[in-house]
Structure 1
Amino acid sequence: MELPNKEAYESLIRRKILFFILFISAAFLAFLLDIAVGSSGLSLYEVFSTIVFPASSDPTSSVIVWNFRLPKALMAVFIGASLAIAGAEVQTILDNPLASPYTLGISAAAGFGAAATMVLGLTLTSFAGNVLVSINAFIFSFVCFFVIYFIAKVKSASKELIILTGVALLFLFQALVSLLQYIATDDQLQNIVFWLFGSLENSSWSTVTICLLILLIFIPLLAIDFWKLTALRLGDEKAKSLGIDVEKLRLKVLICVSVLTASAVCFAGTIGFVGLVPPHIARMLVGEDQRYFVPLSALLGSLFLSLASIGGKICCHKGVFPIGIATSLIGVPFFLSLIIMKRSGSF
């Protein structure tokens, strides 16, 4: 009996590795395409050679790639990974397949922080311009998080309470944003709406570095508890019987999710479905084992946002197409198809 079980396990591992190889290749190709697509008409070979051999590349191509397109493409990769990881872990700790970072109200809080800066000049820092908007979005995201954390801490961090608190804060901050839109001038309203739709236009090497550092810090923090999070999917009681402090684990993951979401939203605005669709696909392909589920979710999140960026450029040659609209146009029909397939028993 051991040999068939061993062969089945090894076959399952090979299948998971094959998925990783396939999607790494797809994500890398989408990354290069995201840089190549545009009015300059760069080929994939020119993009690749400019990145790998910048000294010997054409000066014009080098400026286009390194100064303008590469930071935006990298931000799509890092933000996609951050939101997908956040979505995967929110679904895990709340045991809700429809949960996402936006369920907790963090994105709406960031939107209010940015809108308040644009309309009222409300700020807790001395920075100016787009930096101020990003910093305030980050600060208000953490205001939302600390409210959820405090209530969850007092009430033993039950998943039902976290969901209800997040939904309540979501509607609160959405109402506040609507109020600011109502009193805003035409120019302010245009800026608010554009920011709420999401954009990678403000990407720079500094924002790329910050997002990368946050990923490098918080992915290992989550990886330490991968076995605990996998066990949590068996239910709270079984996880506790294995010696897991469920409440402490939920609060720790909530902190990591909040930082990952806030860092993504404060630099790119609100981008929907990245924290929802990629984790669903990853779960279908590799199951609930966090060792495979979380990395594949991150990989699919990067691929998803890169494809959305490419689609936005193709749809809007002369202007800036908000990437949040592109993710919704791609994500809504895809997610509906997942729901229909699941209800029909296709997976």
Structure 2
Amino acid sequence: MGIIEEKEIRDEETIKKVIQNSFPSVPVFMFYNNKQYPIKVVNIANEGLVIKSLGRNDTEPRTLFITNSGNVFRFTFTLIGSKNGYEVLKPILLEIKPASRVKERISGGKLYITNVTNQHDIAKSLVGDNVRINSIMKVYSQKVREKIPYLDLFIHDRYDTRLKLLIDHDKPIFVPNKTDPESVPENFIPYKEYYSLLKNSKQLERYISEISIPLKYKNMVTYGYLSAYNEVPMDISYMTIVETLGSAIKKDIFSHPVLHETKEAIPISDISEGGFSVLQQNSVTFGKIFLLGGTLIFDLCASANEKIVCRAIVRNIRPTEHHFRIGCQFYNEYEEEVKNLEAFIKKHAPDAIKDKSVNPFETTPPKPEEK
């Protein structure tokens, strides 16, 4: 899809198709109280779009934005319902117009990126290293066998039901005793959600309690999970054991170079709080990591001691005389990620911070500065 003329779409099925094709792979924002907030999309279902709530108490229509292929898409939804920190939304209107930057990017100065890897490559590379990972898992299983009889490690580039549940809710599974659904604490996936999806699993039939924690790369990308099952109830002390095991297993997994990752310091050509660009020469590593539409995980650095882990989407790749110019958009799902990124950029490139009260659908291209 290239840049298209302004248009409105009111057909619900057409809007749903746009949502299904775009929301899983691009940042989604809500414009509320004159401010943009990143939105965590939990599920795209027939009954509506399920998102993590911002904590709004009103029932006014929800306005969500994405940018894609040089266009900005404004979706208007009615609120169908909300429960347990989630909202279900029904699309009623989609407006599309050419996108324009609210503020031009500035020079990247001393900022650079390093330890860059393609998000899609993480689970794929780990699956290819399964023999070593299985041997790691065997060692830890033996250490806790008396207390936890069954320990399972799932790493795959395709989601199973349990992994999707962990990613959608961004919470661990903790079922102390399946005969007592009320025993599940509030800060874990609700038993109703858990049971409706996993009621036919063999583990649920055989064991009375379960703990499953997501395994995350750099605390940002979930690539698998660690599960503990028991024939007796488990209390919160078991959660501590499983979390400790998870940290140790992750450390051992990544103690060997298993990912396609560039270790070089790549200077940032220009940056705003919304995105940045870098110049890269063509190479084998370049072709495996910097893919158009791909998601990157990397360290954004001001120095070896001042850095922040970030995620971004490769929006465009353009050849220059000696390099490829790679344009990226920061990809944040949570307000905390946005705040951390803004604080870092404000410290090291303060002119890149824009006015977040500007509605991205109502902006016009900025005029060039007078010289």
TM-score range, shorter chain: under 0.3
Based on CA coordinates, which of the two structures has the bigger radius of gyration?
2
TM-score, length-scaled by structure 1: 0.24
Greater relative contact order (Cα < 8 A, sep 6+): 1
Q: Which has the higher strand share?
A: 2
TM-score, length-scaled by structure 2: 0.23
